Amino acid sequence: PHNALSRRMPVEWNHWWPYEDALINEEVFKANSDVGRKMGFEVSMLDAGWFGRSDEKSQWYSLRGDWHLVNAVRFPSGLASLGRHVKANGQTFGMWCEIEALGSDAELARQHPEFIAQRDGQPLGYICMGNPQAREWAFATVKRLVEEYGAGWLKFDFNLDPHAGCNRTDHGHGSGDGLYEHYRGYYALLDRIRESYPDVLLENCSSGGLRIDLGIMQHLHVTFLSDPDYTEHALQLTWGASMMLHPSTMLRFTWSQVRDYQRHNRAVDPLSPDTPTHKLDYILRTGMMGILGMSYRLEDLPPQHRERIVQQIQFYKQHLRELLRDGDFLPLTAQPDRNGSGERWPAFLAVAQDKSQAAMFVFRMPGAADACQVRLRHLDPQKRYRVSYQDSGRTLTLIGERLMHQGLPFDAMPEESSEIVLLRSE
């Protein structure tokens, strides 16, 4: 079930992709939070890079587990001060934490060897939540993030595959049920956090632990769909995730800027100054079919892109998120494929429970035919709907039966463009 914050479906900015840990610091984070407030972002999320020893060159992956240490070189005023700054902007302060993970250089492994998940004596790279003492340590960590630093949104990640799990027999489970007890313990931890801090939003990050399933979603509020967020991938994933998840639980980033394009094998900045408006909308609207998140250098955005993002955030808040929160969501076409195959005119529909209004999202992907006709679903066949194309300005009044049997036409759209159609019953 949702809490007040998750039900709001707040628009989130996350620092990670354009800054990672190497470039994030107190000054950069505050500057982006300040710009984000003016743009309409309601959450500022501090991702990896805040914890571990005080070293400008420290690397997040090897220090996971040392959540008791704050990197004072990057954040000299401390995280409580940072949290207050975000709250003063009228935003929720979010924090990333890979609560189970154990980096190779983490002090935690030396301080608490009894916490370590092992298989046949070899460490698996995480803390075994089948151990009751480890769960107590984890809850104390979360308590500090919430009560001392002011986190109102916790992003729980897991960047590894636990494989067959822990087979130690000295910390709370038998040799054959370590993975099962780890998940039972993790779920119990999540439930305790929700009970103790009912106003805090808990986010699941699918990531390497393959965690995007109905079991884990009984214990969290929202799930982050995928680190790869380029538009073709995002459309394919939205189609698949919608088979089991409601859009009010699905968080995705629009196609992110990244710190190192060569390392990520991406030759393009999706928000370069020459990105045309229709392509920017195509990128942004993939995130507007659920909880809208972005990972951009907000303080450095080209003015025209900043203005357009502001417009789209306002449109999302005014016309889409209540419908996405309370209505039904369904694909109207076959699934698009990120390798250039599959449906090249994917379309999706959010429709109110009483069928009085709906929002249709249509995307023309590379390789699509010049035009298409998309039939709608789940409308009232007897109602008359005012149909408004947001980009082309076309308006029609059609009966629901006509919209479902014959559909709506889409043409004169360049590749990598999109359209949103709003429907209101008369």
* Arithmetic mean of pLDDT, 55-67: 95
Lowest mean pLDDT among 145-149, 270-274, 315-319: 270-274
Place of tokens 């399933």: 213
Report the percent of the chain where pLDDT is more than 70.
97
* Arithmetic mean of pLDDT, 63-90: 98
For residue 359, which of 379, 341, 345, 373 has the smallest C-alpha distance?
Answer: 379
**Mean pLDDT across the chain:** 96
CA angle 347-349-354, nearest 5°? 165
Sequence letter at residue 130: G
Backbone torsion region of residue 120, taken as left when φ is above 0, otherwise alpha when ψ lies between -120 and 50, otherwise beta: left
Task: Give pLDDT, residue 1.
Answer: 81
Reply yes or no on whether the pLDDT at 163 is more than 60.
yes
* Local structure of residue 138 (DSSP, 8 states): H
Strands 357-364 and 347-351: antiparallel
Q: 17 with 256: CB under 8 angstroms?
A: yes
Task: Give pLDDT, residue 267.
Answer: 63
Rounded Cα gap, residues 342 and 177, in angstroms: 41
Task: Give pLDDT, residue 263.
Answer: 62
Reply yes or no on whether the pLDDT at 206 is more than 80.
no
The string of pLDDT tens digits covering residues 253-273 is 999 999 987 665 566 789 999
Task: Give pLDDT, residue 266.
Answer: 62
Rounded Cα gap, residues 264 and 313, in angstroms: 27
Report the percent of the chain where pLDDT is more than 90.
93
Reply yes or no on whether the pLDDT at 373 is more than 70.
yes
For residue 2, which of 327, 353, 325, 350 has the smallest C-alpha distance?
Answer: 325
Task: Give pLDDT, residue 208.
Answer: 54
Task: Give pLDDT, residue 264.
Answer: 56
* Arithmetic mean of pLDDT, 202-212: 79
Task: Give pLDDT, residue 161.
Answer: 87
* Arithmetic mean of pLDDT, 138-165: 96
Rounded Cα gap, residues 73 and 25, in angstroms: 8
Task: Give pLDDT, residue 248.
Answer: 98
For residue 241, which of 271, 206, 274 has the smallest C-alpha distance?
Answer: 206
Look at the chain and count its residues: 426
* Arithmetic mean of pLDDT, 2-26: 97
Task: Give pLDDT, residue 246.
Answer: 97
Question: Which strands sit side by side in the sheet containing 395-399, from one edge to the other?
Answer: 328-331, 347-351, 357-364, 417-425, 384-389, 395-399
Rounded Cα gap, residues 364 and 415, in angstroms: 5
Q: Give just the sign of the alpha carbon dihedral 172, 178, 179, 184.
A: negative
Strand partners, 13: 44, 294
Task: Give pLDDT, residue 260.
Answer: 82
Confidence of residue 321 (pLDDT cuts 50, 70, 90): very high
Q: Give just the sign of the alpha carbon dihedral 48, 54, 57, 62.
A: negative
Confidence of residue 220 (pLDDT cuts 50, 70, 90): very high
Rounded Cα gap, residues 33 and 87, in angstroms: 10
Higher pLDDT, 267 or 324: 324
CA angle 84-98-221, nearest 5°? 70
pTM score, whole prediction = 0.96
* Arithmetic mean of pLDDT, 208-234: 89
Strand partners, 418: 363
Reply yes or no on whether the pLDDT at 170 is more than 80.
yes
Reply yes or no on whether the pLDDT at 217 is more than 70.
yes
* Arithmetic mean of pLDDT, 84-105: 97
